[in-house]
Amino acid sequence: MPVRGIRGAIDVARNRKEEILSRTGLLLRAMVRANGVKADDVAAAIFSLTPDLNAEFPAIAARRMGWSDVPLMCATELDIPKSMKKVVRILLLVNSSVPPGRIRHQYLGKTPTLRPDLARKPSR
């Protein structure tokens, strides 16, 4: 079965532990729901934060969802001038036979401007 990437992003108002976890959990649940993903389907998940978010590891939100056997990794995004601040991004690598054009990427809150081509993609 091929591995597919599912992308997502969400903004966070404040650099606070529970807010990072809450917003990350909201995004992760939306990604899973929109694509019918089960934890056993996930090969790995990569979480990244903009440099202004450092109060918590966003991967803890996945552990709270019971993803104890999924390899998770956190990283910091590049600090590009004039880029959107206070953003959590997730890349799920999922074992799936769903064609790439049918993947439902999730850009929540203010983040649809990051990838309008993916954020407004109609469901098929």
C-alpha closest to that of 75 among 104, 44, 35, 96:
44
Q: Is residue 123 part of a domain?
A: no
Catalytic residue list contains 104: no
Asked if residues 69 and 39 have their Cβ atoms less than 8 Å apart, the reply is yes
Residue-wise pLDDT tens digits, 3-26: 999 999 999 999 999 999 999 999
74 in active site = yes
Range of the domain at 92: 3-117
pLDDT for the residue numbered 88: 98
Active site residue 77: yes
Q: Using the predicted structure, report yes or no on whether residue 122 has a pLDDT greater than 90.
A: no
Residue 60, Cβ neighbours under 10 Å: how many? 17
Give how many domains the chain has, as a whole number.
Answer: 1
Average pLDDT (91-112) is: 95
Selected catalytic residue, list 4, 23, 89, 104: 89
Degrees (nearest 5) of the Cα angle 7, 8, 11?
155
Residue 83 lies in a domain: yes
> Is 63 one of the catalytic residues?
yes
pLDDT digits (tens, 9 = 90+) for 49-98: 999 999 999 999 999 999 999 999 999 999 999 999 999 999 999 999 99
Please give the single-letter amino acid code of residue 46: I
The per-residue pLDDT for 59 is 98
Q: Is 115 an active-site residue?
A: yes
Which of 23, 56, 104, 107 is catalytic? The answer is 107
Backbone angles phi, psi at 77, to 5 degrees: -70, 160
CATH, residue 37: 3.30.1330.40
pLDDT band at 110 (very low <50, low <70, confident <90, very high): very high
Q: CA 59 to CA 57: how far, in whole Å?
A: 5
Judge whether 122 lies within some domain.
no
120 — pLDDT class (breaks 50, 70, 90)? low
Q: Tell me if 53 is assigned to some domain.
A: yes
Mark whether 56 is an active-site residue. Answer: no
* Phi, psi at 39, each rounded to 5°: -55, -35
Q: In the annotation, is 7 catalytic?
A: yes
